[in-house]
Structure 1
Amino acid sequence: MGDSQITDSHALNGKLPAPAACYDVVVIGAGPSGIETAVVAAGEGKSVLLVDENPVAGAAMGNDVPLFFGGRMTTATLNADRMVETVFTSEPGLEAAMEAGVELLLGTCAWGVYRNGPAFGTLPSQVVGLADATRSWLVGFDRLVLATGARDLAIGFPGWNQPGVMGAAALTMLLSRYEAFAGKRVLFVGSHDLALETALLAREKGVAVAGLVEVRDAPQGRADLVEAVRAAQIAIHTDDVVARAEGGIDGVERAILRSGAEIECDTICLGIGLVPAIELVDAMGAKRTLDPVRGGYVPAPDDGIDFVGDCAGLPDTGFDHVAYRMEWARALGAVSAPETIVCQCEEVTRGDLIGVQPPNYLTRSPTMEARSLATLLDDGPANQDQIKRLTRAGMGVCQGRRCRDQVAMMLAIEADQPFGTIPLATHRAPVRPLPLQILADWSESEEMRSGWDVWFGIPTAWIPYRDIGTEAEITHQQARVWSA
C-alpha cells in the first residue's frame, strides 16, 4: 500500500512514513535462543537486528517490568551505562553475535508489532515498534523472531504487596546478568526445578538461603537438585505455605508459615512456575493456545513470525505444572483473607475480585454491592477481560504481569472449572509502559497533518465522510458557526 496513489486527502493510504530502517530478520530477545537464531540468520547473509530490553530502566524495574523484581535491585541499576556494560559482559554470546555481523540494541524494548490485514492496509511494510530511554521508532522486517522468554507466575498471599516479594526469574536476572541484587537472606516458595535451581544459584552467589517452602508432602524437583539442596544444608519445609509476610519500612523482614513457624528473611522468592512471555503475540492479534501440562499460553504458528525458546513453550519435564500451580493457588487462597491484595497497582482485593466490585476509590451503589462472581456466572462463563473492566484488576502500570495469571486461576477455582477454561485478559500495544513524550511522533509530515481538521477542527468538529468535498460540507460548517 506504500506505493499507492493518494486519492483522498483525508485517508491514511500512502501517508505513513517508511520505517526508520528495514532488516531481513529482526529478533526480539537476546537470550541464548535469540542469540543463536540471530547468528544463524547472519551466517546466511541476511541483515539481522537483535533487540533486548535489558538493562531495563530503574523506573520500569520498580513497576516489575518485565520481570517480578519486587523492589530488590540495588541502586546500581540506575546507572544506565554501567548496566549496559554489565549485561553485555555477562553474556558472551552477544559479542559473538556482533562479530557475526548482527546489529545489537540493548536497553531497547519492543512495544508493538503491526502488519497489514483485512481492516488495516496503510503500512508501507510490516513493522515492529521499538523504544529506548529517549525515543520511539519503527523498524521494518521480512521475518520476525520472538525470543521473549518467560516471566514468573505470581500468586499473592497476605503481605506480598511489599518490597521483598519477587520472582525466581527476576532473582536469576539480578544475580547473573545485572549483578545487582539487594537482598541478603531469601526464602523460596516452591520446590520444583525452578525454585531449587534458583536457590542453588543464590547460594553460589553468596546469598543466604533461609529455606524452601513446599505445599506438597515432599520436594517436587529432580532428585539431583534435591540432593544438592540438602547437601548445602538448606531446609525444605514440606506440607506448608507462607501464611503471611511481615515487614517494616524496607519491606519483608520475616515469613510466617501456616504451621506457625517464623523464618527471618528480607526476601521471599516465588519459584512456583514460569509463564511464556507472549504480550507481543497478544498485541499483534496473533493466536495463542493453552499448554495443558506445562502451563501458560503459547503462541500458535504464524506465517512470517517465528517463536523460539521459552516464549514458544516451556521444556517438557514430564511434570504436571498446571496441577501443581493450581494446588498452590488453592493453598495460598485458603490463608488469604478477603482484604488480601490481588492487583497491587489498582489495590484490588480478593473480596473485590470475587465480588466483582469496582475499585475502592469509587462509590459502590447498592446494585453494585449486590453483584458477585456468582451472579455474573448466571449469565454465562467468566471472562477475564470483562472482570478487568468491572474491577480494574490488571489495568495498572505493570500491565497485569503480577495478577493476570493468578486472576485467571482464581476465577477458575471460584467457577469450579479447569484452568484454561477462563480466557486470559488480552494485551494491547504498547506492551511496555512508555511515557507519551517518547511514544508520540512529533515529526508528522504535512501529508499526515492534512485532513485532520475534519475531525478536530473548530468549528468543523465533525463532518460526515460522505459530505466531504460537497456543498453539504459548507452547510455543516455554516450550521456550526450559526449555532455558536
Structure 2
Amino acid sequence: MIPALHIVGSGPAGLAAAHAAVMAGAQVCLIDDNRAAGGQVWRGGPGAWNAPAADALWAALREHPGFTHVRDTRVVGAVDARTLLLEGDTGGACMPFERLLLCTGAREFLVPFPGWTLPGVTGAGGLQALVKGGMPVRGRRIVVAGSGPLLLASAATALAAGAQVLAIVEHQPRAALARFGLGLALRHHGKLHQALQLFARLRGVPYLTDALVVEAKGDEVLQTVVVETARGRTEYDCDFLAAGFGLLPNTELGQAFGCAIDAGALAVDERQQTTVPHIWAAGECTGVGGVDQARSEGRVAALCALGLAPSRADLRALRQSHHFAALLARHFAPRPALRALCRPGTIVCRCEDVTAAELMPWRDWREAKLATRVGMGPCQGSTCAAACALLFGWEPPAARIPILPANAGALASIE
C-alpha cells in the first residue's frame, strides 16, 4: 500500500512533489500559507503564472481525488515527532502525519547598510514580489543592487511594469561573472539562454560590476542612493532601491523536528531524506539552486518518500541541477567587503532598532539577545541573525517553537 504524504510548501518543489506522489497513487496533503499555490517563484497562483510547467502541474493536481490543498495555513512548529502545529484563519490545529516532505523555500539575505530601513528600500526579490502582486511602478526610478541572477530577474520585472531602472549594481567582480558565464556555456545551455534573454530585455540599463550601494538617503522616504565602484562614488536620485545578496534556506521547521543542518541548509542524502528517517526535504531549503533544482528534488523526494525508485531521467536532472547550484554558490558567495557596509550607527535589527554599536560588545547571539532584544521582534531574527553571522561571526540561533509568530489560540491547541 502506498503511504500518505504531507508536503509543506507549494512552490515549484512542493507542486512537483505533489504531482509525482498523486500520480504514484498516494494521498497527498499540500499545506501552504498563501491562498494560491506557486510559492515565490510562481507567484500569484493559477491564471497569473507565465510558466507552462506550473500550469501543467496544477492542472493535473487540482481535480485529483488524492490531492488536498490546505491554503492560508501556516506551519508554526512541531508538536511531536509526527505532528505539525498549524495556524489558520479559524485558529490552531494539530495535524498528524506519516511521512513529511519539507519544501519550505528560502528568504532573501539582506546586509545592513546606512539607510536600508528607509521606506522605499526592499530586497531584490521583495521588489519583484511586490510588482507581481500589483504594486504600481510605472515611471518610478529604481536601482537594483546586491548579488546574483535574481538582480536581473527583478530588474526585468520592474522594467516590464513600466519602471525606469537606473542601474543594476552587482557586487561580484567581472572576472567571477565571466567564470560563471563560462560554466553556463559548458554545461547549462538553457540557463545561458535565459541569462542572455534577460540581458537583451535590459539593454540600455547600466550593469555595474564590483560595485556596492553604500548608503541610502532620504528625510522620511528614500530619495537618493550612493553607489561605489572602482572609479569612485555616484549618487542616483530614485524612488525604490531593491537590494539583496542572494537567498537563505528556510530550515526552521526542519530544525524543530531535529533535522541536521549542513552549510546553512537542511542536510539530505541522495534520496532527499533528512537525518530524521520519516522526513524528506526538497527545493531551496536544502540549498539554493533555482526552479529546476526545486522541481527535480521535489519529484525525487516524493518518490523516495513513498518507497519508489526515481527514473534515470529523474536522477540525471537532479545531478544537473546540483551542478548548477554549486556553480551559483561558488561565484556568488558573499565577499568579506560586505562587512564594511555596516557602520556602528547602522541599524542591524530593524524590528527592535538595535544598532551595530550595541551588538559589538557581545560574544554571541545569546548574550546580545539578552542585552539588546536583537531578534525578539516580529521577524524573530529571520533577517538579522544572518546579518549578525556575517558581521560578527556568530552562530545563527537554533530554531524554537513557534518558528513563526503565532497567536495564543494556536499554541493552546497543543494537547
CA contact (8 A) 1:193 1:220 kept: no
Q: Which runs of 5+ in 2 are unaligned?
A: 50-54, 182-191, 269-273, 290-324
* Deviates most, 89-98 or 223-232: 223-232
2:243 alignment partner in structure 1 = 270
Alignment match of 1:51 (pick from 31, 43, 46): 31
Aligned CA RMSD, in angstroms, stands at: 2.9
Alignment match of 2:277 (pick from 285, 295, 303): 303
Alignment match of 2:327 (pick from 296, 307, 318): 318
* Deviation sequence 1:340-366 (CA, Å, 0-9, x none): 10000111111111123xxxxxxxxxx
CA shift in 2, pair 1:394/1:219, >3 Å: farther
Take 2:346 and 2:223, find their aligned partners in 1: how far apart are those partners? 19
Take 2:78 and 2:136, find their aligned partners in 1: how far apart are those partners? 33
CA contact (8 A) 1:215 1:328 kept: no
CA shift in 2, pair 1:265/1:252, >3 Å: same
Q: Which protein shows a greater Rg?
A: 1
Take 1:150 and 1:44, find their aligned partners in 2: how far apart are those partners? 28
2:299 alignment partner in structure 1 = none
1:94 alignment partner in structure 2 = 58
- Is 1:105 matched with 2:114? no
The number of equivalent residue pairs is: 342
CA contact (8 A) 2:265 2:286 kept: no
* Deviation sequence 1:77-114 (CA, Å, 0-9, x none): xxxxxxx9x53433534343222331112221111123
Take 2:196 and 2:236, find their aligned partners in 1: how far apart are those partners? 20
CA shift in 2, pair 1:110/1:311, >3 Å: same
CA shift in 2, pair 1:243/1:322, >3 Å: same
Query: Which structure would you say has the larger RCO, counting Cα contacts within 8 Å and 6 or more residues apart?
Result: 2
Take 2:130 and 2:83, find their aligned partners in 1: how far apart are those partners? 31
CA shift in 2, pair 1:108/1:325, >3 Å: same
CA shift in 2, pair 1:320/1:29, >3 Å: closer
Take 1:113 and 1:100, find their aligned partners in 2: how far apart are those partners? 28
Report how far residue 321 of structure 1 moved. 4.9
Residue identity in the other structure for 2:283: G
CA shift in 2, pair 1:355/1:436, >3 Å: same
**TM-score scaled by length of structure 1:** 0.64
After TM superposition, list the pairs within 5 Å mapping 1:231-380 onto structure 2: 232-249=203-220, 251-258=221-228, 259-290=232-263, 296-300=264-268, 301=274, 302-315=276-289, 316-321=325-330, 324-333=333-342, 336=343, 338-356=344-362, 376=363
CA shift in 2, pair 1:321/1:135, >3 Å: farther
CA contact (8 A) 2:7 2:14 kept: yes
* Deviation sequence 1:96-140 (CA, Å, 0-9, x none): 322233111222111112334xxxxxxxxx211111233111111
Report how far residue 53 of structure 1 moved. 1.1
* Deviates most, 214-223 or 143-152: 214-223
Take 2:330 and 2:136, find their aligned partners in 1: how far apart are those partners? 28
Take 1:159 and 1:240, find their aligned partners in 2: how far apart are those partners? 17
- Is 1:26 matched with 2:6? yes
Take 1:49 and 1:248, find their aligned partners in 2: how far apart are those partners? 49
Report how far residue 155 of structure 1 moved. 0.3
* Deviation sequence 1:144-179 (CA, Å, 0-9, x none): 111111110010100111222222333333344x33
Report how far residue 31 of structure 1 moved. 0.8
**TM-score scaled by length of structure 2:** 0.74
Take 1:332 and 1:234, find their aligned partners in 2: how far apart are those partners? 25
Percent identity, aligned pairs only, is 28
1:74 alignment partner in structure 2 = none
Q: Which runs of 5+ in 1 are unaligned?
A: 1-22, 57-65, 68-83, 117-125, 291-295, 357-375, 377-382, 413-421, 449-484
Take 1:319 and 1:233, find their aligned partners in 2: how far apart are those partners? 25
Alignment match of 2:17 (pick from 29, 34, 37): 37
Report how far residue 227 of structure 1 moved. 7.8
CA contact (8 A) 2:79 2:94 kept: no
Take 1:161 and 1:320, find their aligned partners in 2: how far apart are those partners? 27
1:213 alignment partner in structure 2 = 169
